[in-house]
Amino acid sequence: MLPDVARAWEHLQRVAQELFARYGYEPVYTPLFEHTDVFTRGIGEATDIVSKEMYTFEDKGGRSITLRPEGTASVVRAALEHNLTANGAQAKLYYAGPMFRYERPQKGRMRQFWQIGIECLGAPEPTADAEVITVLWRYFETLGIPAANMRLLLNSMGDEACRPAYRDTIASFIRDHADGLCEECNRRADTNPLRAFDCKNPGCREIMAEAPLLRDELCEECAHHYAAVKEYLDALGIPYIEDSTLVRGLDYYTRTVFEVQVDAGLGSQNAIGGGGRYDRLMQEYGGPATPGLGFALGFERTLLALEAAGVDIPAVPRAEVFVARVDDSATAEVFALSQRLRDAGVAAELDHQARSLKSQFKQADRLGARLVIVAGPDELASGEVTLRDMSTKEEKRLALGSADADVIDALGQEGTD
Ligand code: HAM
């Protein structure tokens, strides 16, 4: 990632940090790799991620380790290991970093990609679902993706009371339609029947559109929970679309699942973020029953969506002030003055290549400097430097000894914090 892209990355992270902090989320960093078991147990053996896409190696100690394909499993593992949710405590955590999946690369899908995500642990109430979904939606809005370009899909996956029966129903449905469905979907009848809703094959899609919907078979608690999530979203004016075929690619979900998709700029990899509730995940790791939910969004896809919407990433000037020298007689003064400015909190740049004054002005322009200080034999003979305003072209002389304070005034900055 070269500076142009890395700057955009930092902007995405800055906006996330500011927004997530308003909702009480704290940063967490988990390792890039974990014992393979953390992911197989958490994400599920039958998922594409675990069965096909993990970078799994044996280390020198003969342990099976895996580069993290996502963040949720690690965050829940860490919360359990460090008792963050002991005695009913709630933990609100966010993370950002690279994830690894051995998928077929295409636009918006790479083998190392960046995610930023939040996890809200210990919160069973539907207000938490509505809050997490709102954070995701607001994040994309804050970045500048127009709401009209996005689609928020919402579904409930049920829980251990109602989903097993529904899984069986779908497995039978697949067997009843075996001839019309692809080989993979047929295999899914035994391993992960609900994933058949995600098949991209047009023939399979047509058949699966006729399959019974979980929405109609939710148990009473799940139906209540789902209805309340929708009410809270309605109250906030978050525009969701119910999609009973949204099943997502990870096995840990219970109840609420959601995804934000865009049409412009992404082709088939159109999900820029998604998540859901996983009330049984901590138990998978041997911990106490602890509800949780969260989302993750993809940086690369978000940038593509921003590009397609014509949103510019705000540029940060690389130098506010350029300290130029007419010739080598001013080098020591220019070097010292630049440092005084930097110590005072000003982004100041100087030439390290003994370039001509003209080239130094060009460089100042390229860096976006508002002011240029020029030091040469003339100026220094009277203990001064010249200050030039790059937009008005006005020039004035400043005393060398107090030039840093004058420049700070000219920049309209106050303190030196
Ligand atoms: P996920 O849907 O697998 O969910 O990934 C979240 C986002 O990561 C996707 O919407 C997409 O933007 C991005 N993404 C996924 N795979 C790739 C790839 N190969 N290349 C580029 N971008 C990609 C999760 O990972 C869950 N951990 C989300 C979650 C958090 N659920 C609850 N808490």
Please give the structure tokens belonging to residue 38: 């953390």
Distance of alpha carbon 195 from alpha carbon 280, whole angstroms: 19
Tell whether ligand 1 has an atom less than 6 A from the beta carbon of residue 275.
yes
Distance of alpha carbon 356 from alpha carbon 379, whole angstroms: 17
Helices (H) and strands (E) in the chain, counts: 15, 16
pLDDT of residue 414: 41
Report the candidate in 204, 145, 182 with the shortest Cα–Cα distance to residue 12. Answer: 145
Please give the structure tokens belonging to residue 275: 């998540």
Q: Which of 1, 99, 252 to mutate to test the pocket of ligand 1 (most atoms within 8 A of CB)?
A: 99
Separation of CA 65 and ligand 1 centre (Å) = 20
pLDDT of residue 192: 87
pLDDT of residue 246: 93
- Partners of 257 in the beta sheet? 155, 276
DSSP track, 239-289: -EEE-TT---S-TT--SEEEEEEESSS-TT--EEEEEEE-TTHHHHTT---
Ligand 1 atom closest to residue 105's alpha carbon, by position in its atom list: 19
Beta strand 64-67 with 56-58 is antiparallel
pLDDT of residue 417: 41
Ligand 1 atom closest to residue 271's alpha carbon, by position in its atom list: 10
Q: In sequence order, what are the residues at sequence separation of 6 or more whose Cβ sits closer than 8 angstroms to the Cβ of residue 207? A: 177, 180, 181
Q: Digits of tens for pLDDT over the chain (417 positions)?
A: 899 899 999 999 999 999 999 999 999 999 999 999 999 999 999 889 999 999 999 999 999 999 999 999 999 999 999 999 999 999 999 999 999 999 999 999 999 999 999 999 999 999 999 999 999 999 999 999 999 999 999 999 999 999 999 999 999 999 999 999 999 999 989 988 998 998 889 999 999 999 999 888 999 999 999 999 999 999 999 999 999 889 898 999 999 999 999 988 788 889 999 999 999 999 999 999 999 999 999 999 999 999 999 999 988 778 999 999 999 999 999 999 999 999 999 999 999 999 999 999 999 999 999 999 999 999 999 999 999 999 999 999 999 999 999 999 999 844 444
Separation of CA 152 and ligand 1 centre (Å) = 15
DSSP 316: P
Tell whether ligand 1 has an atom less than 6 A from the beta carbon of residue 291.
no
Q: Under DSSP, is residue 172 helix (H, G, I), strand (E, B) or coil?
A: helix
Separation of CA 23 and ligand 1 centre (Å) = 21
φ, ψ dihedrals at 57, nearest 5°: -135, 160
Separation of CA 143 and ligand 1 centre (Å) = 18
Ligand 1 atom closest to residue 71's alpha carbon, by position in its atom list: 27
Separation of CA 298 and ligand 1 centre (Å) = 6
Q: In sequence order, what are the residues at sequence separation of 6 or more whose Cβ sits closer than 8 angstroms to the Cβ of residue 49? A: 39, 43, 69, 70, 101, 249, 250
Tell whether ligand 1 has an atom less than 6 A from the beta carbon of residue 69.
no
Report the candidate in 114, 80, 102 with the shortest Cα–Cα distance to residue 11. Answer: 114
Cβ atoms within 10 Å of 367's Cβ, excluding its own: 15
Query: Which residue's alpha carbon is nearest to atom 11 within ligand 1?
Result: 298
Query: Which residue's alpha carbon is nearest to atom 33 within ligand 1?
Result: 294
Ligand 1 atom closest to residue 301's alpha carbon, by position in its atom list: 12
Tell whether ligand 1 has an atom less than 6 A from the beta carbon of residue 292.
no
pLDDT of residue 198: 86
Report the candidate in 234, 241, 282, 235 with the shortest Cα–Cα distance to residue 258. Answer: 241
φ, ψ dihedrals at 44, nearest 5°: 110, 130
Tell whether ligand 1 has an atom less than 6 A from the beta carbon of residue 188.
no
Separation of CA 24 and ligand 1 centre (Å) = 22
